[in-house]
Amino acid sequence: MSGRSHPVTACRACGGALGATFCDLGTMAVANSYVPPDRAGAPEPAFPLRCVVCDECRLVQLDTVVDAEGIFSDYAYFSSASASWLDHARRFAAAMTERLGLGAGSFVVEVASNDGYLLRNFVAAGIPCLGIEPAANVAEVARAGGVPTETRFFGAAAARDVVARRGHADLVVANNVLAHVPEVNDFAAGLALLAGPAGVVSIEAPHLVRLVEGVQFDTIYHEHYAYWSLLSMETLLARHGLRVFEVERLPTHGGSLRVLASAADRGEGAGLRDVRTEEAARGLDGNAFYQGFDARVRAVLAGFRGWLDGALAEGRRIGAYGAAAKGNTLLNAAGVRAPQILAVADRSPAKQGRLLPGSHIPVVTPEALLAMAPDDILVLPWNIGAEIAAQLRANGFRGRLLTAVPEMREIVA
């Protein structure tokens, strides 16, 4: 993990002045930089984790940027680890194939294609495709699975290169990557270049409105440079000649938007008008919407910390499930350290045998966690809590299953 970072003094999207603090989580380790046990005593890079609001385009963004190559060149997140996410990808591929009439003469590109979780559906359908993925270890898994994948960061230069070799794409997919991009204008320019005059760009991103509603502060971490509303996203895309023509609300990641855009005029769908209306009614173009979130975060952290201290005082053995980045934000913001939590289970072999950044809680297999016989298991990736709870119950766990965001509660499964 690189120790390089730099402060942000102007909006990375529009260059406007950065205004009020949205949320300040202090200084912490990078959420997906898992620690080998032999490095447990070594200094661990830590950086400020604070979000501010642009006074002009209202983009919520970190005011300290950590070197992207240090974060993403070797990455510990594999999309295929979640069965529900694989099903989401399958349904998306089928819907877009039908909507755009994709076939053997088409070309689909996914940016930040991870381990090929989505493009494998296009491969299976005989639709030519290409993945662009900066993490070499993850891209290799995709290629081994039969998904054509190039290992590189995406931007205007990469787009021009692909177009020169393969032509424009009929569909450019950018799912859950926009938050991860430090140079958003270069990235958006690349999307526009790759789609050309007729292609469609599909972007999925967690919706800022849902983040605020659900006090989803644990989705704030150094890998997420910005937190998007439709308002700020439309402003960015329009700067690069892309018109949003439809928006769909999704349940993923606590509430996301699927935004479809094109250089061509495709009209405006009802979903786009609906989300625009909601954001206007909530006042996303003013100041009040962004105020008070930090105080709500403090209340959630106090509730979690109070529960954990009480459970430990009673002698309860606490485990956790899901070595997810959001869980690391929660644990580190609350000051949790090993051995307050026995271990965290995760199905990803890339994380097993390592320690969580900051807290240094060991990551083990689900079977190893259950063998420790915890009284309670804290499910950290609450967005797939029901899926995880069902798996744990099926494997015989009879203790309490809980989540901490937006408040401490038991998961009924």
What residues does each domain of the chain span?
A: 5-65, 79-290, 307-410
Confidence (pLDDT) at 1? 41
Average pLDDT (267-281) is 98
Nearest to 337 by CA among 44, 24, 3: 44
Confidence (pLDDT) at 67? 77
Confidence grade of residue 47 (pLDDT, cut at 50, 70, 90): very high
Average pLDDT (47-68) is 94
Tell me how far apart the alpha carbons of residues 208 and 225 are, in angstroms, rounded to a whole number.
Answer: 13
Instruction: Give CATH for domain 79-290.
Output: 3.40.50.150
Average pLDDT (55-61) is 97
Q: Is the pLDDT of residue 405 over 50?
A: yes
Longest dimension (CA), the chain: 65
The per-residue DSSP string of 37-89 comes to GGGTTS---EEEEEEEEETTT--EEESEEE-HHHHHSS----GGG-HHHHHHH
Q: Is the pLDDT of residue 76 over 70?
A: no
Q: Is the pLDDT of residue 286 over 90?
A: yes
Nearest to 233 by CA among 194, 270, 275: 275
Confidence grade of residue 84 (pLDDT, cut at 50, 70, 90): confident
Tell me how far apart the alpha carbons of residues 390 and 384 are, in angstroms, rounded to a whole number.
Answer: 10
Confidence (pLDDT) at 2? 45
Q: Is the pLDDT of residue 68 over 80?
A: no
Confidence (pLDDT) at 81? 64
Confidence (pLDDT) at 75? 53
Please tell me the least confidently modeled range out of 65-79, 229-243, 252-266, 361-375: 65-79
Q: What is the pLDDT of residues 307-331, one digit of tens each?
A: 999 999 999 999 999 999 999 999 9
Average pLDDT (382-390) is 92
Domains 79-290 and 307-410 alike in fold? yes
What do you get for the CA distance between the two ends of the chain, in Å?
A: 38
Q: pTM of the predicted model, to two decimals?
A: 0.92
R_g of the chain computed on alpha carbons: 21
CATH topology of domain 307-410: Rossmann fold (3.40.50)
Instruction: Between 24 and 65, name the one with better pLDDT.
Output: 24
Q: What is the pLDDT of residues 171-180, one digit of tens each?
A: 999 999 999 9
Average pLDDT (194-208) is 98
Tell me how far apart the alpha carbons of residues 49 and 371 are, in angstroms, rounded to a whole number.
Answer: 35
Average pLDDT (190-199) is 98
